[in-house]
A and B are shown apart, each in its own frame.
Chain A
Amino acid sequence: MSDAILIIGAGIAGINCALNAAKYGAKVYLVDDTASIGGMMARLDKTFPTNDCSICIEAPQMYEVDNQENIEILTGTQIKKVKAQNGVFQVRLVKKPKYVDEAKCTGCGACVEACPVSVPDEMDGKIGGKRKLIHMAFPQALPNVVAVDPACRSGEMRSAGACIGGCAVDCSQCRECPIALCVSACEKEGKKAIILWQSARKINLEVKSIVVATGIAEAPPAGDLLGYDVYDNVITGMQFERLMNAGGPTAGEIVRPSDGRHAKRIAWVQCAGRGLAQGKGVPYCSKICCMIATKQVIITKEHDASVETTVFYNDLKAYGKNFWAFYQKAKENGVRYVRGRPYQVEEDAETKNLTLRYENLDTGRIETREVELLVLSTGIVPSPGNPKLARVLKIELDPFGYFKEKDPLKAPLETSVPGIYLCGGATGPIDIAESVVQACAAGMKAVLRSEAP
């Protein structure tokens, strides 16, 4: 009988859970539905409250996962069916095609250079991030292989100048492609790693325990929230994070989407959209956003001390060890914290600057402030795949869409199904350190079950 462990989600929680369980001696399947392991943390620039560079501390752990013999990484993979039987779980997974032979691709990037079409990057779109139709998730992606956008293969991108798709013959019918530039670039390098006719692969596993580590997402701003959809220079906190990241689309230059100029006056709005009608904003405090914004203002000031920074907030959430000192540091660096929530934003058509109107809660007065870039801290929501996964695993979600613990006071991280455990953002908004603690704990619970007769 199998004593393997299935970990769903390969962000910092899943990675740590996998490393702990594997070093303990367990066989681990680490599954993620995106093209690379790394999760949210791989996208971040810095991490509070120490401002450690995010990828600097995460990448060594990613490589460690890759080099652990008893961890099998399955990216682009979804859980389709889970059946509990005689104390084990029979799991059916489907690995979506990347249209690339992962064993042959060396990540050389020749195909990416050859691809004629750039499209806005899903995450960095509003700040000018672009990617090709064949692309690598991020430079340190693991596995370090490219993936072909399915939209390209289906022909949807022909009008944008894509070289393939829309043939009389469907890609899945061919075994070679004389027209795809990526395929010929790959062949020219002597590899033949791109397989446009690749199909999804079914995988069946038998495991003793399952750890859900599906993580968190930034709440998408409702279109009209403080001008987000209307004005170029209104962006989300995560987009700002990408903007200040040396590995991001602007190579770390904090510039405005409207004109590419360095922003000299920037404001952050905390709790943006919070408490608005259903579907328009997050209904609860997401805990980590105050410190994310504080980190961002400190880094902004490090980039250029002359930038004027203002944070609009209601209740400051400086909940962790040394978080208050971190906030004090921001204030010492000249960051203005103003208690109040802006309710109106107007753009100057010429300068593209934004004027905020807000009630200053300390003085009770209505005030205005003009900024060049506006950052919305929209809060944290559960991973969008949670409802489906909950159905497949037959475990419950809480009213906000995070996974529910059966008894958090006696047996935290355990669900109503014995053998299924939770860690990280699957349980709620959470920071990196807390995710790692839970990852170690969930790993312990999983191996204890796998050890049990």
Chain B
Amino acid sequence: MNVPEVVAYARKLEHVVLADEGRWSCSVDYLSRLQDLIQEHAVNRVVIASCTPRTHEPLFKKTVKQAGLNPYLLEFVSIREQVSWVHMKEPGAATQKAKDLVRMGVAKAVLLEEGREIRLPVKQDCLIIGGGPAGLSAALSVAQQGFRAIVLEKGERLGGMLNRLARIRHDGHEAPAARLRDSLVDRVLETPGIRVLTGAEVETLEGYIGNYTVGLKEKDGAVGQRLHVSTLVVATGMQEMPPVGAFRYGEDPRVLTQLELERRLAAREAGEFFPDTGGESAASLPRLEETVKNVVFVQCVGSKNDKRGCCAIGCHVAVKNALALKALNPEIQIHILYRDLSMVKGEGAMLEAAKRLGIRFSRFPDENYPEVLEKPDGTLVVETTDLLIGERLELPADLLVLAVAFQGDATVEHLKGLLKVSASPDRFFQESHVKLAPLEFPADGIALAGCAKAPMMLKESLEAGTGAAMRVSIPMKRGYIEAEGIVADIDLSDCNQCGLCHKRCPYSAISVDSDKNPRVIKALCKGCGLCAADCPKECITIVHFTDDQVLAQVDAALLESPEKKIIGFVCHWCALGGVDMAGVSRLQYPVHARLVRVMCSARVSMKMMLRPFEKGAAGVLVAGCEFPTCHYISGNYAAESRIRRMKKKLARAGYDPDRLVGIWCSAADGPKFAKTMREMVKQFHLDQGDA
């Protein structure tokens, strides 16, 4: 494109006092020139027309700030990725497009207002719900910084699952669970700053990061104390799902779950009592190794079906416990019936040891589980098909041990409502982002650790506990959380208290008072704009992406030959990434689009979709993140449903609904964006004649 022509054009625009051309505007030399120019000409708005805001906006914001101007008074126009790289064969049309983009940028810049980061104070106290390994390791890390940690355990003793296990193994390391529990609990009790509350659970919870009030309930139902904390770690653990009615479990005392076997092994080791067998001591119970000759393990009981997946730890546990039984008495015959044996990396050595000791493994068909029968003589027999040898086996069992599925703690049902988070039907909490935010919830200041998320090994629980401590420690260490100035702002004068904004905010950043008036907790707001676009009374605005600013860009774009233009609203994170990728890859596509950046496709209101049509545009594109990704959890889903509704509205208003197009585009998918552009241009017959 002809850059001097664009500069000369910019110079003539209303409000523009200076237009300058820099060859490499992100170079250190030019950035310092930019600061000088800002000061010399006392400008109060800056438009940068260069590469892409996704990579370079922070740099220019910083520069503008150093020049003494509020950084929110900067507008970024992308003329490299959106013009020079993608319209290489049409310099005339490209130059015209660049002029339009600059005009749009100036139109928005004129309306920009000063913004500021918003801080919310956070004190140094954390409530950890759950006193198992994950919770305790989180408490240790929190307290070691000198912060206050309160561990809330609903049972009577700390240690969680470690109280119920025999031995723990990992990659050649092995230790009794009781010893690991004692060492962990002792460290917790010795660490100053940790307060332990047992026999109580959370009854009420109000507030947000920096400001939680938690009401406890004692075991007898009495109202407990009230706690004031800044952050929370949820580490409520898991439990087995008893397979009642299957495999004669609950009918025959010889049928146990792995956890029940493990408790016996643990008690055997420690000489402890069994409270659930009438207070017998382990010593008085029949010794496992003397009464038991044949043991059968059945894996995947209640797992890997329509309801739930792999239990994640059952194979390891089975091989571990088989080895433990063999250690008690090498004569015990053990047969493990499985579907898929999943033993990773170092676990392979355990598996080989088991095979060496004569422990046998048989694969049964996915849809044909083993059957348990009691013979007339009272012996228990397991019948199964061994897939590998293709034969039916009949295995006697003095002990039948089931690797059953797991579920989250019973308190999850109550807690998830209080925390406004979701959990699976099996009561496992849903983390904020499956990959990049595995230890937290969408709302700031609440971390998730251990088996409350999904079944995991001790090592992983300890890691998750420490990692969760990191997530809540960052705001506690800083003393505040900070939101970028792009936040929602509610004008209550037109509000009809419908509560939609409060209900739909993905971050619980909008609270309602007793009069149902909504209030934005600005430090929690991420600025997606979902609430603003949905508000039926249009009383919410998003700083830096106000209706007026966005519509000014649309109007500026359509000032000349609107019938040749497509207005595209693109989300900053993925769709603009796709646009940039098309640029970097030099994919050539028609010049008709004029793109308006929004932070999330959910920001694009029906009013914004309608305006281009009113101004005579050829079409409208709304581009958001590819499903299921969304930088704001689910904004793209909201946008998609809004587009569907808008199409009906367009039809009623006499516009062609097919001229409103939604695409969901990954940041790598330049080809998809370029193809959409070509298709739209063809569909709207814009390829006849010049743009």
Binding site for B on A (CB under 8 A): 16, 20, 23-25, 45, 47, 49-57, 59-61, 63, 67, 103-104, 106, 108, 139, 144, 189-191, 245-247, 251-252, 283-287, 315-325, 361-362, 364, 398, 400, 402, 405, 407-410, 412-413, 428-429, 432-434, 436-441, 443-445, 447-448, 451
A130 to B573, CA, bound (A): 28
The verdict on B95 contacting chain A, using a C-beta distance below 8 Å, is no
The verdict on B312 contacting chain A, using a C-beta distance below 8 Å, is yes
> Scoring B residues 180 to 213 as 1 if CB is less than 8 Å from chain A, else 0, what string do you get?
1001100000000000000000000000000000
> B584 — which chain A residues lie within 8 A by C-beta?
139
A12 to B666, CA, bound (A): 19
User: Which B442-486 residues sit within 8 Å CB-CB of chain A?
Assistant: 453-454, 458-460, 462-471, 473-474, 477-478
Check if A24 sits within 8 Å of B348, measured CB to CB: no
Check if B459 sits within 8 Å of A23, measured CB to CB: no
> A286 — which chain B residues lie within 8 A by C-beta?
344-345
Check if B434 sits within 8 Å of A441, measured CB to CB: no
A315 to B387, CA, bound (A): 13
Check if B666 sits within 8 Å of A448, measured CB to CB: no
A318 to B454, CA, bound (A): 13
Check if B435 sits within 8 Å of A409, measured CB to CB: no
User: Which B541-587 residues sit within 8 Å CB-CB of chain A?
Assistant: 573-574, 577, 581, 584-585
The verdict on B310 contacting chain A, using a C-beta distance below 8 Å, is yes
10 additional contacts (CB under 8 A) given A53-B629, A103-B28: A20-B474, A25-B478, A50-B629, A56-B668, A60-B573, A106-B26, A320-B454, A364-B390, A436-B438, A444-B473
The verdict on A409 contacting B668 (CB below 8 Å), with A52-B629, A315-B342 known, is no
> Scoring B residues 353 to 374 as 1 if CB is less than 8 Å from chain A, else 0, what string do you get?
0000000000001000000000
The verdict on B388 contacting chain A, using a C-beta distance below 8 Å, is yes
Min C-beta distance of A184 to chain B, whole Å: 16
Min C-beta distance of B638 to chain A, whole Å: 18
Min C-beta distance of B652 to chain A, whole Å: 34
Check if B344 sits within 8 Å of A284, measured CB to CB: yes
Check if B628 sits within 8 Å of A51, measured CB to CB: yes
The verdict on A324 contacting B309 (CB below 8 Å), with A106-B27, A436-B436 known, is yes
Check if B454 sits within 8 Å of A56, measured CB to CB: no
Binding site for A on B (CB under 8 A): 23-24, 26-28, 54-55, 58, 141, 144-145, 168, 170-171, 173, 175, 180, 183-184, 303-304, 308-310, 312, 340-348, 365, 387-388, 390, 428, 433-439, 453-454, 458-460, 462-471, 473-474, 477-478, 573-574, 577, 581, 584-585, 625-626, 628-629, 631, 666-672
A69 to B336, CA, bound (A): 55
Q: List 25 A-B contacts (CB under 8 A).
A: A24-B474, A50-B434, A56-B625, A56-B668, A61-B436, A103-B28, A106-B24, A108-B24, A246-B670, A247-B670, A284-B348, A285-B348, A319-B344, A321-B428, A321-B434, A322-B434, A364-B390, A398-B171, A413-B463, A429-B344, A433-B438, A436-B438, A437-B438, A440-B467, A445-B466
Check if B626 sits within 8 Å of A53, measured CB to CB: yes
Residue B304 contacts which of A318, A408, A429, A443 (CB distance < 8 angstroms)? A318
Min C-beta distance of A406 to chain B, whole Å: 9
What 6 A-B pairs come out closest when comparing CB atoms?
A: A324-B309, A440-B467, A53-B666, A444-B470, A441-B466, A441-B467
A49 to B309, CA, bound (A): 12
A45 to B667, CA, bound (A): 10
From DSSP, what is the main secondary structure of chain A's interface residues?
loop
Min C-beta distance of B558 to chain A, whole Å: 30
> A50 — which chain B residues lie within 8 A by C-beta?
434-435, 628-629
Check if B180 sits within 8 Å of A409, measured CB to CB: yes
> A447 — which chain B residues lie within 8 A by C-beta?
470
A63 to B57, CA, bound (A): 11
Closest chain B residue to A26 by CB distance? B477
Min C-beta distance of A421 to chain B, whole Å: 10
Min C-beta distance of A213 to chain B, whole Å: 14
A40 to B235, CA, bound (A): 31
A332 to B446, CA, bound (A): 36
> A247 — which chain B residues lie within 8 A by C-beta?
581, 585, 668, 670
Check if B170 sits within 8 Å of A409, measured CB to CB: yes
Check if B668 sits within 8 Å of A246, measured CB to CB: yes
> A428 — which chain B residues lie within 8 A by C-beta?
344-346
Residue B345 contacts which of A45, A189, A246, A284 (CB distance < 8 angstroms)? A284
Check if B180 sits within 8 Å of A410, measured CB to CB: yes
Check if B460 sits within 8 Å of A437, measured CB to CB: yes
> B437 — which chain A residues lie within 8 A by C-beta?
436
> B438 — which chain A residues lie within 8 A by C-beta?
433-434, 436-437
Check if B170 sits within 8 Å of A55, measured CB to CB: no
Check if B24 sits within 8 Å of A190, measured CB to CB: yes
Closest chain B residue to A315 by CB distance? B340
Min C-beta distance of B357 to chain A, whole Å: 20
Check if A47 sits within 8 Å of B435, measured CB to CB: yes
> B581 — which chain A residues lie within 8 A by C-beta?
139, 246-247
The verdict on A440 contacting B468 (CB below 8 Å), with A283-B348, A321-B428 known, is yes
Min C-beta distance of B403 to chain A, whole Å: 14
> A405 — which chain B residues lie within 8 A by C-beta?
171
Check if B24 sits within 8 Å of A191, measured CB to CB: yes
A318 to B315, CA, bound (A): 12
Residue A322 contacts which of B309, B340, B439 (CB distance < 8 angstroms)? B309
Min C-beta distance of B528 to chain A, whole Å: 14
> A139 — which chain B residues lie within 8 A by C-beta?
581, 584-585
Residue A56 contacts which of B346, B428, B469, B667 (CB distance < 8 angstroms)? B667
Min C-beta distance of B175 to chain A, whole Å: 5
> A252 — which chain B residues lie within 8 A by C-beta?
669, 671
Check if B173 sits within 8 Å of A409, measured CB to CB: yes
> B310 — which chain A residues lie within 8 A by C-beta?
318-320, 323-324
Min C-beta distance of A398 to chain B, whole Å: 7
> B474 — which chain A residues lie within 8 A by C-beta?
20, 23-24
Check if B466 sits within 8 Å of A444, measured CB to CB: yes
A227 to B136, CA, bound (A): 52
Check if B173 sits within 8 Å of A317, measured CB to CB: no
Check if A59 sits within 8 Å of B577, measured CB to CB: yes
A364 to B631, CA, bound (A): 48
A251 to B434, CA, bound (A): 27
Check if B309 sits within 8 Å of A325, measured CB to CB: yes
> B312 — which chain A residues lie within 8 A by C-beta?
319-320
Check if B463 sits within 8 Å of A441, measured CB to CB: yes
A318 to B304, CA, bound (A): 9
Check if A56 sits within 8 Å of B574, measured CB to CB: yes
Closest chain B residue to A51 by CB distance? B628
The verdict on A440 contacting B470 (CB below 8 Å), with A53-B668, A57-B436, A284-B346 known, is yes
> A191 — which chain B residues lie within 8 A by C-beta?
24, 27
Min C-beta distance of A125 to chain B, whole Å: 20
A182 to B471, CA, bound (A): 46
> A319 — which chain B residues lie within 8 A by C-beta?
310, 312, 342, 344
A296 to B303, CA, bound (A): 24
Min C-beta distance of B173 to chain A, whole Å: 5
Residue A63 contacts which of B55, B145, B470 (CB distance < 8 angstroms)? B55
Check if A20 sits within 8 Å of B470, measured CB to CB: yes
Min C-beta distance of B671 to chain A, whole Å: 5
Check if A318 sits within 8 Å of B309, measured CB to CB: yes
Min C-beta distance of B149 to chain A, whole Å: 13
The verdict on A24 contacting B626 (CB below 8 Å), with A324-B304, A441-B464 known, is no
Residue B631 contacts which of A16, A60, A440 (CB distance < 8 angstroms)? A60
The verdict on A53 contacting B574 (CB below 8 Å), with A106-B26, A252-B669, A440-B468 known, is yes
Interface centre among A251, A400, A433, A451 (most CB of B within 10 A): A433
A371 to B342, CA, bound (A): 28
Closest chain A residue to B25 by CB distance? A106
Closest chain A residue to B85 by CB distance? A109
Check if A56 sits within 8 Å of B672, measured CB to CB: no
Interface centre among B27, B438, B626, B668 (most CB of A within 10 A): B668
Closest chain B residue to A380 by CB distance? B345
Min C-beta distance of B607 to chain A, whole Å: 28
Check if B145 sits within 8 Å of A451, measured CB to CB: yes
